[in-house]
Structure 1
Amino acid sequence: MGVIRKTLGTFLAGSIGSVAYLTSATNLTTPLPADDELWSSKSIATFNRHRNPTIQDVVWKRLPLSQIRPELRDNEEALATEFCRGAWSGYAYAPQRLIMMLANRGPKTRDQLFRQQQLAFSKYELGTKFSDHFEVVDRTSNAITVRCGGSPLEPGPRELDGLLVVSAKVDKDMGTVDVSLKTAFFNSVEPVGDGKKPANLAAELLHRLYSRAMVDSGVRRLTR
């Protein structure tokens, strides 16, 4: 969350217009509904085994299918993959992408993705690691679940652990597609008995603004 806070601060410093645009261009739901698919997923059961308090939200956007690239309109899996590519290869992740590449690329991470072009064309298959901070831990027909909060080289519990779910859902009757970035952050090291979340309110708000930028960035990949 610290890296997110720094990179977003750099990206949006003094830019009230950017904040206003992202707020109007994307939708935010928090907390997640009690019946959300994330809560019954194997990923949340594996990584938040203590059922600790979470910072939880989903940023989403609904688009007419007519605006989507024709080759993607009938394939939710392709939509989710392309949306994921746009999120991590686009403008929103650019500052963090550079910081991570300069800080983390080396012999131990040679099998990971760092460059923009790599992230722009990855299939984000199960086990894909990138920026020495993210790892794909689950895939379904329309969603990609990424673990964050620390290096994939150290897969154990983390004081700030997290799951990001990138998804795309087509409604053919309505002629629309919903794309979203769902997040849950938690302490996976030990049980938290006082209800304390893993980050303060300021970091939580910055994270949500960053998520809005990631969704906007991902959408651009679907419509061009």
Structure 2
Amino acid sequence: MGVIGRFLKLTTTGGVATIGAHFIWTRNSHVEPLPRTDYLFTSPSYKRLNPNENAVLSDDCIRRVPLSQIDPKLLEKKGKLAEKFCAGVWGGLGYAFQRQYLAKKYQGPKTAHQLWSTNELISSTYEVGTEITDHFQVVEKTDNRIVVRCGDSPLKRDVRESDGLFEMSVDVKKDEGVAEFHLKSVFFNGLSGTKAEGSIMPWHIELLHREYSKIWMESALRNVYA
């Protein structure tokens, strides 16, 4: 997963994670293994992009937030909370360094239709087909989840060597008085990947990915707070 690995190294070691308060800031987010029973593994996109069922690296970054801390307007209409959470992922501080890196390399006439500026990223409703900084494309949207394809340019439509799915979702649990936010990742080599689980990324890249997921989570939540 060369492209993903390079971004994780650059973004996590050179960006927000260098702040000494990183572990305090992200202490309420935790990362768990993503069970094979999760929807992402049965989704049409996963079956199409990983037709040979090659090995994956997958996890789920989870954060529970009291409903009293969330902008009440986002709870009035179905889908708005998920949209704002998604917009916070891409338009927030956690993605700023990676966005700038991608813009320097790939922003141009061929990618002019994609979302690039902070204003575009924070205001988009992320409909299916939306392309983000030449590295992500929305492939599914429901009231509580938005799923993007990741790993390489969305201009490459076929099965790819560097590929994956990334889900931003929220489960409002009114009986518990909380909203549970998720950032779910599934990475794989759709062309010639190994069948051995856990061998598609070096351990240190996997560790950086988990820490970056926590940064993304905390940054995105700023867009939904009251």
d(CA) in 2 for partners of 1:67 and 1:6?
A: 32
- What is the number of residues matched between the two proteins? 222
- Assess if the C-alpha contact under 8 Å between 1:159 and 1:198 holds in 2: no
Identify the residue that residue 140 of structure 1 maps to in structure 2: 142
Identify the residue that residue 80 of structure 2 maps to in structure 1: 78
- Assess if the C-alpha contact under 8 Å between 2:9 and 2:205 holds in 1: yes
| Per-residue Cα deviation, 1:41-79 (whole angstroms, up to 9, x for no partner) | 112111111111111101011111111101012444111
1:217 Cα shift? 0.8
d(CA) in 1 for partners of 2:121 and 2:107?
A: 14
- Assess if the C-alpha contact under 8 Å between 2:88 and 2:219 holds in 1: yes
| Per-residue Cα deviation, 1:174-212 (whole angstroms, up to 9, x for no partner) | 121111110000010135244463221111111111111
Residue identity opposite 2:82 in structure 1: A
- Assess if the C-alpha contact under 8 Å between 1:147 and 1:164 holds in 2: yes
Which structure 2 residues correspond to residues 56-205 of structure 1 after superposition, within 5 A?
Answer: 56-195=58-197, 197-205=199-207
Change (3 A) 1:172 1:12: closer
- Assess if the C-alpha contact under 8 Å between 1:160 and 1:198 holds in 2: no
Q: Say which of 16, 23, 32 aligns to 1:19.
A: 23
Q: TM-score, normalised by structure 2?
A: 0.92
3-state DSSP class of the match of 1:101? helix
- Assess if the C-alpha contact under 8 Å between 2:31 and 2:61 holds in 1: yes
1:103 Cα shift? 1.4
Identify the residue that residue 3 of structure 1 maps to in structure 2: 7
Residue identity opposite 1:166 in structure 2: M
Q: Say which of 216, 219, 226 aligns to 1:217.
A: 219
Runs of 4+ residues deviating >4 angstroms = none
Residue identity opposite 1:118 in structure 2: E
> Gaps spanning 5+ residues in structure 1: where?
none
1:4 Cα shift? 2.3
